[in-house]
Structure 1
């Protein structure tokens, strides 16, 4: 898996020069430059060139830059894929991935460019493990709006109707060491609701949250970053375990709880994430 944070992944329309400019100064970990849903049909060709120029000009720092193209079954998809190879981006994002064959078709055009997959269809969930195993696949982006539509379900409290799908995709991503970011929260003015959904996604195991508005960035960044209490616990667990092993013991006790090697792996990962966040040049 990529050794960097993906706490926040903000969608930016590829057709909007002002939004493309503003994104250069937002404290996001990743930008999903969108040529698909956020761009109307009559703007799609122009958006491709607008985005290419913005990426050429640069200024996005250490933000991970991903371009979401239109599906290859649309009139714009293959041209998007051809153009994205020439863009100064880190990866290409393919919508509505149903099987590894969709990634094969894209890779024939994009070559060595890393691929991310939108997991937003019933077939995408059913085939999540096979998709995650693809050698060009770098990460999953959950498309919860489209998934809910295709399932004919309502998200409900705590997204209960979607939990199986979310967990299936998460299991697949973790099995093959891929990044996975949670779906969007539509009510961008509802800060408490966003915070709760970010915390749910974090506790499930997602790496971060896709966002539709800059106002959501700080909440996502805070939710998916280790807290001061977690950092303190990680340091104390490592110190106690190292002392225990020096004394020939295989376990330690911290706050009345057993600490084994598996806890130290998690503790070191927590500290590594803190260091990686600090290293980002926002």
Structure 2
């Protein structure tokens, strides 16, 4: 399946140094995994974690997209991480705190994998269009914890302080047809709060959500998948529009609302996403 076409409803962070977590991830109903060599690995374990992760990736993770987050290239581990990932059996490499396209150029010179960018600083937000336009960029990950720290913003359930930055990244990702997944929700036992934040991200246009705990998977998968009602509406819109066109018309009506070409295009994307999700579970 093409990386851009596949679902990214649930993207779980897994420490690259923990054998038990690496093994458990093979059994979880997640669309993608971020194998973390950065924040989740202590400084003294970072070198050994490369070998641990390389060995784990030699065994299949099924249909799950495998993304490896390295340490920044300005750290003592970043360059060696990138060179190690170049030899790993994974789908993409994720660079933290991306703030310009030059950083992606530097990474591309070390690792010939599709690139993903962590978007987590004010400079990154303001350079989102430049970053998304990079020819090797396949995805963006919102780092909302770091962004909140940089903004010195207070926590709000509606994430109002972060919406300008999130919006800039969304616009950039959609303009350049790259995947974009939302930041983590820290209270992993708060299903209602997680559901509300997932729905906000989905309403905005996010492709999925990064997760910090397996307990969050079910909520994210449900929020970012087309509902039965959305699938039913999409089918009826397509049928009604095709019937109208066959009769020489250009606009159909479904449930009292007009259906034009643009609505049909959205409806087809909804059905394609539902089919791609079903394919992952086969």
Which runs of 5 or more structure 1 residues have no equivalent in the other structure? none
Which runs of 5 or more structure 2 residues have no equivalent in the other structure? none
The within-5 A match list for 1:251-266 is: 251-266=251-266
Distance 1:158 1:281 in 2: 33
Q: Does 1:27 align with 2:33?
A: no
For residue 281 of structure 1, report the CA deviation from its aligned partner: 3.7
Deviations 1:131-167 (A, max 9, x none): 0000010000000000010111123131001011111
For residue 19 of structure 1, report the CA deviation from its aligned partner: 0.2
Q: What is the Cα-based RMSD across aligned positions, in Å?
A: 0.8
Q: Does 1:60 align with 2:46?
A: no
Distance 1:226 1:244 in 2: 25
Distance 1:235 1:110 in 2: 43
Q: Give the TM-score normalised by structure 1.
A: 0.98
The within-5 A match list for 1:197-276 is: 197-276=197-276
Deviations 1:52-90 (A, max 9, x none): 00001x220010000000000001000000100110000
Q: Give the TM-score normalised by structure 2.
A: 0.98
The number of residues matched between the two structures is 280
Cα pair 1:202 1:224 within 8 Å, conserved = yes
Q: Does 1:173 align with 2:173?
A: yes
Distance 1:92 1:59 in 2: 18
Distance 1:155 1:254 in 2: 41
Distance 2:186 2:60 in 1: 28
2:46 corresponds to which residue?
Answer: 44
Aligned partner of residue 116 in structure 1, secondary structure: strand
Aligned partner of residue 239 in structure 1, secondary structure: helix
